[in-house]
Structure formats: C-alpha cells, structure tokens
C-alpha cells in the first residue's frame, strides 16, 4: 500500500480511543510509515532495494524494533519540548508513557504490514526467519476507494471530539466493507476461472493448488513433469474496478493470461494471451546471475524469453503480475520495465551485461 494511504489510516486511528493520549497520534503516523524505511537500501541500487523491500522491516523484528525506535523518538521529542516550554513532563497526566507509546507504535506498524498483505505486490510476513512472500491479491498498490473513504472521513470528521470519533468509526466500517466486497469478488473470479476456463487448460499438477485459497505464498517449487500441466491460477486486481481481474494461469511451459469480470456470468470473452516460458540451458545460465536471482526471489510468476540479435543472445525475465501481454510481443532487447531483468550474452556465450529495468 502507498504511504499516503498508510498516513491517512494512521490519522483515522488517531481519532479513535487509540490516539487519546498526547503523542499517540504522532506515534501512529510515524509507525504507520516506519516499515518503508527500507527505502534506504535503494542507495545500493534498484536491485538491492528489490532484494530488501518488504523484508525484515515488515516482519516480527520490524514490529518490535521499529515500534521501540518510534516510541523513543516521540517520547524523547515530547520531553524535549515539554522542558523547552517549562512544563513538568513527568507530571503531565495527558502525556503517553514510553510503554504506551511503544504499544501504540507496534499497532501502527502491524497495521502497515496487514495493509500490505492484501496487495498484489505481497509482503514477507516472517522475514528474516523466512523469506517467503505472502499475498491475498485483493487490492492494487494504490486503492482509490480506500483513499476516498479515508479522506472523506477526515474531512467530515472535523469539529468536536465526538464528531471525529464517529467519522473515524464510519470510515473503518466502510474500509472493512471494501475489503469484504473485494474478497467476495476475488473468490468469485477464481471460481469463474476454474469453471469456464479450467477445462481448456492442461490437467492440474496438483489439484489442490490449481485454483487456490484466499492467501497465497511463494516461491513455489516447479513440479517435475514430462508434459504440460497447470501449476496454479491467480486473480490479480485492476486499478479501477473491484470486479475486474486479470487471471494468470501458470503452466509448466507457458502462461495464459486473460481478463475477467467477476459479476459477468458468461465468463471471459475471447482467447487468452499465451506467453511461452521454456527454460533452455541458456535461460538457466542467465538465471544464475546475481541480478536475475534478485528478481526471481521476488517474482511470483517469472517468465523467460530469448532473442538472437546480431550474434548476441538476450534473455529477459519478467514478472507476469506486472507485465502487459501486448508489450511482451516486442523483442527483449527493445523493451524494458521495472520488474524485468535482461541478461545479454556475447557471440562466445559470455555474459556481457545484466540489468534490472531501464
């Protein structure tokens, strides 16, 4: 979830009893953005950032560690300004204690993590103890409906304390309703995909995982198979409509991608886009490069393409969650995107370049 939404949600929580003590609102706002402090890893390059983003700062150690750091900052700032204004900080009954600020901060950080979980980007809930990604595929990174609900609640809640609390409660209820609608639409999209498109696909590698549950995780071991079979299917949310989904069917040797409306009982219209994903020895060698390893550790649906260009071989890995199927028709050496890695081999078979995105 984007940081504007995290901040607006924190301000909404601050209007509930959670923010009644002095300093609690500041702690909630700082804590709700604290896990994204991992942006400092971008100083080491975009690949380094991709490797660490939504890692330990979004796991159990991040909840505790960042919670304590946030509480210390707010508590220290409160005491500093209290002494500057010649008030007695120790006797201020409205000021939050350090323990209270720590508890509030940890709630804010946990809320950040739980808001990242439903996005199609996912998050690593257990890092650094486990680097697996988890997602619910309910929302895009920026959900305009959440933004509208939170902004409206903050604007309409201006005035008395009672009005602020009422507006905050209404906003939280509407947020829950938004998540509920998306859960229902997402599950229906998967069910529709299994019913209308499933029979056209190869048989499942594992019937229990072909059209999956509410929470998914990866990386997933590619099953050994002599022929094509269906590994899994996911429904990725669209930006505007909570009922429009992009269904990705991952086969052992290809992807099939099509759009579906979860309230359209006729199912998908038209044939899917089919993206080949054959891992030749050259692709496997390209996958061993450090930059490719970073993307493959992040990517839920990695696809590889190879192009021969003036004696050179160009291998490009793309994450199908963020790829535009029509753009994949362009040669790998002439297209680029944020969640792609391009590895170039010279005519002698040596790697001369590896890059992430542009």
Look up residue 188 and give its two tokens.
């229906």
Strands (E), the chain: 133-135, 216-218, 230-237, 244-251, 254-261, 273-276, 302-309, 312-319, 340-345, 351-356
- Domain contains 158: no
- Residue that is last in its domain, among 135, 154, 173: 135
> Which residues, other chains included, contact 331 with Cβ-Cβ below 8 Å and sequence gap of 6+?
307, 309, 314
- Domain contains 162: no
- Residue that is last in its domain, among 275, 290, 322: 275
How much is the pTM? 0.90
pLDDT bracket for residue 26 (50, 70, 90):
very high
pLDDT bracket for residue 331 (50, 70, 90):
low
pLDDT tens digits for 120-149?
A: 999 999 999 999 999 999 999 999 999 999
Same domain, residue pair 131 and 228: no
Q: In b/e form, how buried is each residue of 30-44, taking b as 16+ CB within 10 angstroms?
A: bbbbbbbebeebeee
Same domain, residue pair 123 and 36: yes
- Domain contains 160: no
Q: What is the pLDDT of residue 89?
A: 46
pLDDT bracket for residue 328 (50, 70, 90):
low
Same domain, residue pair 123 and 30: yes
Same domain, residue pair 287 and 249: no
Region 171-184 average pLDDT: 97
Give the rounded percent of residues in the chain with a pLDDT score beyond 90: 67
pLDDT tens digits for 96-120?
A: 899 999 999 999 999 999 999 999 9
Locus of tokens 């998540």: 179
> Which residues, other chains included, contact 263 with Cβ-Cβ below 8 Å and sequence gap of 6+?
185, 188, 243
Same domain, residue pair 83 and 96: yes
Rounded CA gap, 56 and 35, in Å? 9
Give the 3-state secondary structure of residue 341.
Answer: strand
Given a cut of 90, whether residue 155 has pLDDT beyond it is yes
Q: What is the pLDDT of residue 206?
A: 75
Question: Is the CB of residue 332 less than 8 Å from the CB of residue 353?
Answer: no
- Domain contains 343: yes
Same domain, residue pair 270 and 291: no
Q: What is the pLDDT of residue 337?
A: 66
Region 272-277 average pLDDT: 88
- Count of structural domains, the chain: 3
- Domain contains 140: no
Given a cut of 70, whether residue 169 has pLDDT beyond it is yes
Same domain, residue pair 283 and 313: yes
Same domain, residue pair 236 and 290: no
- Domain contains 145: no
pLDDT tens digits for 188-244?
A: 988 888 887 778 888 888 766 655 668 899 988 766 666 788 888 899 999 999 999
Instruction: Print the domain residue range for 196.
Output: 186-275
Give the 3-state secondary structure of residue 313.
Answer: strand
Same domain, residue pair 335 and 281: yes
- Domain contains 25: yes
pLDDT tens digits for 277-288?
A: 989 999 999 999
Query: Minimum mean pLDDT among 3-17, 140-154, 263-277: which range?
Result: 263-277
Region 71-86 average pLDDT: 84
- Residue that is last in its domain, among 275, 298, 325: 275
Rounded CA gap, 137 and 186, in Å? 8
pLDDT bracket for residue 296 (50, 70, 90):
very high
Q: What is the pLDDT of residue 226?
A: 63
Same domain, residue pair 257 and 292: no
Given a cut of 60, whether residue 332 has pLDDT beyond it is no
Same domain, residue pair 303 and 253: no
Q: What is the pLDDT of residue 264?
A: 72
Q: What is the pLDDT of residue 280?
A: 93
Look up residue 211 and give its two tokens.
């059209």
Q: What does pLDDT average to over the chain? A: 88
Region 308-314 average pLDDT: 88
Question: Is the CB of residue 193 less than 8 Å from the CB of residue 235?
Answer: yes
Given a cut of 70, whether residue 269 has pLDDT beyond it is no
Give the rounded percent of residues in the chain with a pLDDT score beyond 70: 88
Same domain, residue pair 17 and 111: yes
pLDDT bracket for residue 79 (50, 70, 90):
confident
Q: What is the pLDDT of residue 357?
A: 84
- Domain contains 181: no
């Amino acid at each position: 979830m984007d940081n504007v939404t995290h901040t607006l949600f924190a301000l909404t929580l601050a209007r509930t009893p959670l923010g009644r003590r002095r300093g609690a609102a500041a702690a909630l706002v700082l804590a709700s953005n604290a896990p994204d402090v991992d942006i400092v890893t971008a100083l080491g390059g975009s690949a380094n950032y991709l490797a660490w983003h939504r890692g330990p700062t979004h796991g159990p150690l991040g909840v505790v560690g960042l919670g304590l750091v946030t509480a210390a900052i707010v508590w220290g700032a409160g005491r500093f300004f209290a002494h500057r204004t010649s008030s007695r900080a120790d006797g201020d009954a409205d000021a939050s204690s350090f323990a209270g600020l720590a508890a509030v901060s940890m709630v804010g950080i946990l809320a950040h993590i739980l808001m990242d979980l439903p996005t199609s980007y996912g998050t690593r809930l257990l890092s650094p103890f486990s680097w697996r990604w988890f997602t619910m595929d309910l929302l895009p990174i920026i959900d305009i409906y959440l933004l509208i609900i939170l902004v409206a609640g903050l604007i309409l809640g201006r005035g008395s304390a009672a009005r602020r609390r009422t507006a905050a409660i209404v906003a939280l209820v509407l947020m829950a309703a938004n998540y509920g609608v998306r859960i229902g639409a997402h599950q229906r999209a998967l069910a529709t995909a299994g019913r209308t498109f499933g029979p056209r696909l190869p048989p499942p590698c594992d019937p229990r995982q072909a059209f999956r549950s509410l929470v998914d995780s990866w990386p997933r071991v590619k099953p050994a198979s002599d022929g094509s079979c269906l590994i899994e299917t996911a429904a990725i949310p669209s930006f505007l409509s909570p009922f429009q989904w992009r269904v990705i069917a991952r086969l052992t040797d290809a992807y099939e991608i099509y759009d579906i409306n979860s309230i359209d009982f006729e199912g998908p219209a038209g044939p899917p886009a089919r993206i080949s994903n054959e891992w030749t020895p050259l692709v496997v060698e390209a996958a061993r490069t450090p930059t490719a390893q970073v993307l493959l550790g992040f990517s839920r649906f990695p696809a590889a393409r190879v192009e021969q260009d003036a004696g050179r071989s160009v291998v490009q890995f793309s994450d199908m969650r963020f790829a535009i199927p029509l753009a994949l028709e362009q040669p790998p050496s002439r297209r680029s995107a944020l969640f792609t890695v391009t590895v170039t081999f010279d005519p002698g078979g040596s790697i001369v370049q590896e890059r992430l995105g542009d």
